[in-house]
């Protein structure tokens, strides 16, 4: 039990639609990262938020965006969904204190785009 | 850019036998190294991490890993596996930079044969 929750568990959308995925971190965790894990592959870093500001981004287009809120929750938004966006989306949170602190992962949201 | 190679996509092993899951990374700078486990339909759980100090790192569930800088490897080992170890194992690396971005291998499925 990592104390990180994600909702919904599963989601089915059609191409062109928009989706919002949610993550609730442990209290005090000021850093959240989002990853995309396609079937049979390792996670790919999408972006990270630190104290409500984007603090690093992987190789993902601008239609992937996020928000982090003061209550340690965060959102991943994806616009204009494409078939290749079908994947497991993971959020991971940590409380940054210097060095590389352990990231705690949620169980993920499985998104299917038809 | 950093990359992580997990040399085996699947490793079948008999119960109570030893196992080694291989991980190599490409980096010329100091790195932090991690092994995560993903049980079926669950999120990622940290097994162990190497930040500095002793090159032999012990983790949860009886796993350990050895950091070898000259060979840029971080292989995961367990002397005796159990059926409950059936899962996918991911090696990841971070340069410890300000964005804490993790670069992941493609994963190794550990298959325990009774």
- What tens digit of pLDDT does each residue of A34-76 get? 999 998 889 999 999 988 999 889 899 999 999 999 988 999 9
Q: What pLDDT, on a 0 to 100 scale, did the predictor assign at position B28?
A: 61
Residue B43 confidence class, pLDDT cut points 50, 70, 90: confident
* Closest chain A residue to the Cα of B41, Cα to Cα: A107
Mean pLDDT throughout B63-74? 94
A41 in contact with B, Cβ within 8 Å = yes
**Helix/strand/coil for A89:** strand
Q: What percent of chain A has pLDDT over 70?
A: 95
Residues A102 and A52: their CA atoms lie apart, in Å, by 19
3-state SS assignment for residue B45: strand
Asked if A99 is an interface residue toward chain B (Cβ–Cβ < 8 A), one would say yes
Of B43, B96, B106, the CB nearest to A105: B43
Which of left, alpha, beta for B41 (phi over 0: left; psi -120 to 50: alpha)? left
Q: What is the pLDDT of residues A87-100, one digit of tens each?
A: 999 999 987 766 56
Those residues with Cβ within 8 angstroms of residue B1's Cβ, 6 or more apart along the chain or in another chain: none
Q: If we measure between CA atoms, which residue out of A18, A21, A45, A17 comes closest to residue A110?
A: A21
> For residues A85 and A99, which has the higher predicted lDDT (pLDDT)?
A85
The pLDDT of residue B52 is: 83
| Partner-chain residue, chosen from A33, A44, A105, that has the shortest CB–CB distance to B100 | A33
Q: How many CB atoms lie within 10 A of CB A72?
A: 18
Nearest CA in chain B to A2: B45
Tokens of A92: 């991971």
């Amino acid at each position: 039990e990592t104390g990180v929750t994600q909702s919904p568990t599963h989601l089915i959308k059609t191409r062109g639609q928009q989706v919002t995925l949610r993550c609730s971190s442990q209290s005090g965790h000021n850093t959240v990262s989002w990853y995309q894990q396609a079937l049979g592959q390792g996670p790919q870093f999408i972006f990270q938020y630190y104290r409500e500001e984007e603090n690093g981004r992987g190789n993902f287009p601008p239609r992937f965006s996020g928000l982090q809120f003061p209550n340690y929750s965060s959102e991943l938004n994806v616009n204009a969904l494409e078939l290749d966006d079908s994947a497991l989306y993971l959020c991971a949170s940590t409380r940054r204190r210097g060095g590389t602190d352990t990231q705690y992962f949620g169980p993920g949201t499985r998104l299917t785009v038809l | 850019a950093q990359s992580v190679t997990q040399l085996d996509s699947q490793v079948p092993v008999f119960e109570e036998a030893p196992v080694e899951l291989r991980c190599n990374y490409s980096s010329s700078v100091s790195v932090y190294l991690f092994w995560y486990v993903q049980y079926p339909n669950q999120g990622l759980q940290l097994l162990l991490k190497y930040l500095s100090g002793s090159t032999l790192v012990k983790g949860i569930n009886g796993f350990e890993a050895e950091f070898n800088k000259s060979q840029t490897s971080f292989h995961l080992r367990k002397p005796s596996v159990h059926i409950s170890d059936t899962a996918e194992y991911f090696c990841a690396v971070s340069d410890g930079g300000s964005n804490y971005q993790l670069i992941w291998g493609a994963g190794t499925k550990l298959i325990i044969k009774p």
